[in-house]
Amino acid sequence: MTEVRDADSLELLTALDMVAMYRNGTLSPVDVVQSALRRLERLNPEINAFYSVDHEGALEAARRSETRWQAGAPLSQLDGVPTSDKDSLQAVGHPRHFGSSAFDGLTRPSNSDAPAVARLREAGAVSLGRTTMCDFGLLPSGYSTAFGPTRNPWDTSRTPGGSSSGAAAAVAAGIHPVVVGSDIVGSIRLPASFCGLVGHKPSYGRVPFFFQNSPAVVTGPMARTVDDVANMLTIISRPDARDFTALPYDPVDYAEAIKARPAVRKIGLMLDIGFGPDPDPEVQAIVEARAREMAKRLGAELIEIKSPFGPKDYVAGDQFYRLRCLSQLSQLPEENQKRGEFIYDWTAPVRSMSAVDYHAYADRLIVTRSRAMRLMQDCDYLLLPSVAIPAFDAELPGHDPDEMFAGWSNTFIFNLTEQPSVSVPAGLSGGGLPIGLQIVGPRYDDLGCLKMAWVAEQIWGPFPNSPMAGSAEQGDN
């Protein structure tokens, strides 16, 4: 457990640290939430992670949690733990902007919670407010016409990644320890990689989602440790009758189950996915070294895999998601559409696309999916960089605004295949920026992926906190 020296060191605690101290009476949810709110007010002007803060609601929820802990009747292993809600997720009484000025004047407060938000509320977690995201959730950065750029606590000139940009920045800055992100092309794993966090994209259907409008979209946990991610998954994977696509509920305690040794004989390593940005050699070197350490510890064979993907797979993904974004944008009045400047321009080339063209790209993605699934015939788990490059400038919508979708190159395929994947921090670049390693497992094997992530964390030791989150005793990295 992290040692607490004073109220200003609470940002170093994990969620599980917090509940252990609530249980033995050495810490109060009210103290934690008050500290988190002070920290939020101090740091948010620098990182722009929150666009709305609920001081009174958070403190009232903390007081109720404190009463439950004093009575020995907490609601869960997250009772009294501060968190936040991403802009795209419904929360009662709050409008959704989807990060874009295109929704100016059109937003209405939600009258229900998204399933993951509802499960956290039922578990007694304390929401501090609403966090920022990029326009329409499809930019690999924190670029937002509604909120301005969100910034990375490791280096505020760099992006935290998108689309769960504010969520990741808040955790990396030590404002709160855990959060739920959403992911349709990589929006959990990319910001986890850029911000030095653990981010788990569950198998499709593992965590209920509503309204479910894509076989690629999921919600999942982000935190500084694998234990906290697993603990949160236990709670948000609980059933919700609104999602007719959800998997049958599996009442596993992930935080306990991850500590069993994963069954693994062969580990695949793919350092270049075959399209997108030219992989940064430093990213590749860090990921390869960590992969070899994992294989050695597990007594597994490491197989270097040549990518079966190429530019046609990238083009199909790029065009398919431009069309998806256009279908959302086109439902708005023309004058509103133009307010979402970059998205409006990005979708312009597909406005004249025919249904036949669309179907051809959809067919191509089926080929892409089948190739991805065949990768798992050669290995039990696949390792690759979460993102091929380190975090880029915070002011940019993508590392190359002319090829915005390229930022998702290492992640979006595994949304299409419905496979679980988790990004774990593997090291720091020479410039001090986090590098993520992505672990991809067979479909529905969320537990196996998290076991692999837990093993990685045990081998490498605790990852450093961001400079903004303060310092503590850390393992070698």
Which residue in the list 28, 86, 101, 182 is annotated as catalytic? 86
pLDDT in tens, 169-199: 999 999 999 999 999 999 999 999 999 999 9
pLDDT in tens, 194-221: 999 999 999 999 999 999 988 899 999 9
pLDDT at 383 over 80: yes
At residue 477, the pLDDT reads 36
pLDDT at 9 over 80: no
Summary mean pLDDT of the chain? 95
pLDDT in tens, 30-58: 999 999 999 999 999 999 999 999 999 99
At residue 215, the pLDDT reads 86
Mean of the pLDDT values across residues 21-38? Answer: 96
Helix (H) or strand (E) segment spanning residue 425: strand 421-428
Which residue in the list 88, 100, 187, 466 is annotated as catalytic? 187
pTM over 0.85: yes
At residue 338, the pLDDT reads 95
Q: Write the burial class of residue 338 (CB in 10 Å: 0-12 exposed, 13-18 middle, 19+ buried).
A: middle
pLDDT in tens, 393-434: 999 999 998 899 999 999 999 999 999 999 999 999 999 999
pLDDT in tens, 93-127: 999 999 999 999 999 999 999 999 999 999 999 99
Which residue in the list 35, 88, 144, 163 is annotated as catalytic? 163
Q: How confident is the model at residue 12 (pLDDT cuts 50, 70, 90)?
A: confident
pLDDT in tens, 246-278: 999 999 999 999 999 999 999 999 999 999 999
Q: How far is CA 342 from the centre of its chain?
A: 23
At residue 203, the pLDDT reads 98
pLDDT at 360 over 70: yes
Mean of the pLDDT values across residues 144-160? Answer: 98
Any catalytic annotation for residue 163?
A: yes
pLDDT at 4 over 80: no
pLDDT at 130 over 90: yes
| Peptide linkage before 163 cis (omega within 30 of 0) | yes
Any catalytic annotation for residue 86?
A: yes
Any catalytic annotation for residue 52?
A: no
CB 191 within 8 A of CB 222: yes
DSSP 264: -
Rg for the chain (alpha carbons), in Å?
A: 21
DSSP 467: G
Mean of the pLDDT values across residues 129-143? Answer: 97
CB 101 within 8 A of CB 146: yes
Which residues face 131 on adjacent strands?
Answer: 50, 86
pLDDT at 476 over 80: no
Rounded to whole angstroms, how far apart are CA atoms 222 and 423?
9
At residue 126, the pLDDT reads 98
At residue 5, the pLDDT reads 45
- Domains in the chain, please, with CATH? 85-469 (3.90.1300.10)
pLDDT at 287 over 50: yes
Could you tell me which of 401, 394, 463, 454 has the C-alpha nearest to residue 426? 463
pLDDT at 475 over 60: no
Query: What phi and psi, each to the nearest 5 degrees, are found at residue 304?
Result: -80, 125
